[in-house]
Amino acid sequence: MDKLDDFLKYSVLFSYYGELFPKKKKQYLELYLEENSSLSEIAEQFGVTRQAVFDNIKKGVKKLDEYENKLGIFEKERELKKKLEYLKKNFTKENLEKILEDFEYTE
């Protein structure tokens, strides 16, 4: 992860899927993604090597991708946001009904 976009993406994914991780991996990811701690700082805090932290974060990021590929919450939210932005600019009852229909929000 060396791009800001990737970092932001994984921060959001972690906010969705963070509770699915074991305690220690969750702590590493939390410090890295939410607290912006460096690998060295995390390693020092837990008394492990920087490499151990790096490996855990790398595995955690891979797991976040797996969760998103299976559950798709992030992508569904982005799709909904695009549709709502469209609706904001082009509001009609028909457009609203179309969006509700697309998401299967029927009464």
CATH number where 40 lies: 1.10.10.10
Could you tell me if 49 and 32 lie in one domain?
yes
* pTM: predicted TM-score of the whole model, two decimal places: 0.78
Could you tell me if 11 and 58 lie in one domain?
yes
Could you tell me if 80 and 104 lie in one domain?
yes
Q: What is the pLDDT of residues 18-47, one digit of tens each?
A: 999 999 999 999 999 999 999 999 999 999
Could you tell me if 10 and 56 lie in one domain?
yes
Q: What is the pLDDT of residues 73-87, one digit of tens each?
A: 999 888 889 999 988
Question: How far apart are the C-alpha atoms of 16 and 14, rounded to whole Å?
Answer: 5
Could you tell me if 64 and 82 lie in one domain?
no
For 44, the domain range is: 4-71
| Amino acid (1-letter code) at residue 106 | T
Buried b (16+ CB within 10 A) or exposed e, 64-94: beebbeeeeebeeeeeeeebeeeeeeeeeee
Could you tell me if 8 and 39 lie in one domain?
yes
Q: Residue 100 has what pLDDT?
A: 83
Residue closest to 76 by CA, chosen among 16, 34, 30: 16
